[in-house]
Amino acid sequence: MLVLAVFGLLVAGMIAAAGFAVLAQRRLRALGMISALGATDRHVRLVMAAGGAVTGTVATLAGAGAGLLLWFGYAPHLQASAGHRIDELNLPWWVIAVVMAFAIVTATRAARRPARAITRLPVAAALAGRAPRPRPARRTAIPGLVLLAAGACLLAYAGGWGAAGLTATVHLLGGLAAVALGSVLAGPLAISVLAVLGKRAPVAVRLALRDLARYRARSGAALSAISVTVLLAVLVCVLAAARYSNAVDYFGPNLPANQVVIYTPAGAASAGLTHDLCASPDEQHPAPAALHRYQAGVNAIAAALGTSNVLPLETATGLLLQTTDGGTDVGQPYVATPALLARYGIKASQVQSGTTLLTSRIGLAGAPALQLPLGCTFSNACPPASCIASPSIQTLSGLPAGQADPNLVLTAYAVSKYHLHPSPAAWLIQTPQPLTAVQVNGVRQRAQALGLAIQTKNDNPSLSQLDAWATEAGIALALGVLALTVGLVRSESAADLRILTATGATARTRRAITATTAAALGALGALTGTAIAYLAALAYFRSQLSERLNHVPALDLVLVLIALPAIAAAGGWLLAGREPSGITRQPLE
């Protein structure tokens, strides 16, 4: 949340900087007038800063009020889904106050930035309405490149995924902040390069690219806001891929919406639903009468759900795959019974001889430091007689991938070799349709009456869902920034557009100028944001590249790099083209 708040304020600051730059240009003659009447540079900066402070305060109060109203409206639905009462006023008020204060400070600082440029203008030039000459791009590009290099170094020494401690946290947050600021400062250089490359383009394209370089204070801030937005979206996709690729510390959805798992007391303990890792002897091997009662109850639950699709799941007592470096729980293996293999279409000939475990987790077969204790022995290094060290693992895509599904199973070879005694652990029930809340509540009550536990679909998103959400949010926010800033950039060249129209420029030319402006900003923002995001990822995962960056979100990158500029160009083309009013006169600002 801290990273999201910092990135959000950074984007808001860039948009505010572009807006106040345009406002300062429109008020240039008025600011020149007060300077001619004796106002000092400090007074001019104070005028702009006061406007920024008022705007920031109003916007902050409006945003905070809207956020609280949305929270109070959503809280009852959250209570219903969570199943317990939630105090709507139990919020981190100090965090909210700090974010609001930073938002006001951001708007004030964004207003002071163009004021400093105006105070460097001679009073006569300000009264004439001449725009300040843009600063050379190298003046901001060099510090930007230095910050990018410093951020990459900090991320490289942050320890990579899984690193803990104050030093790793400081390196990570400092690296992200440096990379974000570097992307902001390096933006004007990309605009200058684009303007040089477009010298041989058609006249409308040349005019649009020239205006972007000419009004770099506005276009640079807009480009920075877009690149930071894309940077955040691509980073979310990359980090999500790194998190989901961890086959040892497995994460993701536990079950499909049409499945429910009902556990015996021993199975619930092994699955981590209870605090007792090792069940009592009676729970480990329930009496035939108790087992018959469990089975009859599960069949009755399945009949109430309108299905007979019930898969018994067995496990050996206390069997839990773990790591040797700290005893991390990797997963509870079920037994690969003929019914389980037939359920997922796996033939006996597909299982390699001498294999101990079958899994659908990509990367688990090559993970080092794994052991499989035989019985309730949870230690960093269990004795060889009671432990299978470095068990042989075969990856089969036919097995399910859910956390609570049988994604890790023990072969019949291992059961026979190590003289294991499987016992019923759970029943997997699959219904034709997704389970409703009423059905889940009924299953839970019936299972509790039998002394059993259940597990249904959780709220963990899949990797594709998370990538889609991040990409859609990033593109939507980038298009929103474009819609705000393209108008600001084009408004600065309104006089030029009036001249073009008066000399015979058609609506097609006006549309081409606006579409080129939007597409150029969108393409540059997408390219710089994506490149800097992967620079940060490569630095952070420098020693874990093969295991953390093995999944490239190709579709999401295509959407960001191609669809974003295309949508921006289409929007600019459709929304432009109207003939400007007052072609023969200069409007009052």
Q: Which residue has the higher pLDDT, 502 or 589?
A: 502
Cβ proximity of 158 and 172 under 8 Å? yes
Give residue 61's pLDDT: 92
Length of the chain: 589
- Domain regions of the chain by residue span: 1-133, 136-247+462-589, 259-455
pLDDT at 443 over 80: yes
How many Cβ atoms are within 10 Å of 38's Cβ, its own excluded? 7
Q: Rounded mean pLDDT of 11-16?
A: 73
Q: Rounded mean pLDDT of 98-126?
A: 77
Q: Rounded mean pLDDT of 516-536?
A: 87
Give residue 278's pLDDT: 57
Give residue 583's pLDDT: 47
Cα(348)–Cα(260) distance, integer angstroms: 27
Cβ proximity of 215 and 130 under 8 Å? no
**What is this structure's pTM?**
0.73
Give residue 86's pLDDT: 79
Q: For residue 272, what pLDDT band results from cuts at 50, 70 and 90?
A: low
The string of pLDDT tens digits covering residues 42-96 is 877 788 888 888 888 998 899 889 989 998 888 887 777 666 677 888 888 888 8
Cβ proximity of 372 and 315 under 8 Å? no
Three-state secondary structure string covering 255-291: CCCCEEEEECHHHHHHCCCCCCCCCCHHHHCCCHHHH
Backbone angles phi, psi at 31, to 5 degrees: -70, -40
Cβ proximity of 381 and 277 under 8 Å? no
Give residue 286's pLDDT: 65
The two tokens of residue 86 are 């939630």
pLDDT at 588 over 60: no
The string of pLDDT tens digits covering residues 543-576 is 777 666 777 788 888 888 898 889 988 888 887 7
Cβ proximity of 228 and 474 under 8 Å? no
Cα(13)–Cα(350) distance, integer angstroms: 58
Q: Which amino acid is at 235?
A: L
The string of pLDDT tens digits covering residues 199-250 is 777 877 887 787 777 777 667 777 878 888 888 888 888 888 777 777 777 7
Give residue 470's pLDDT: 82
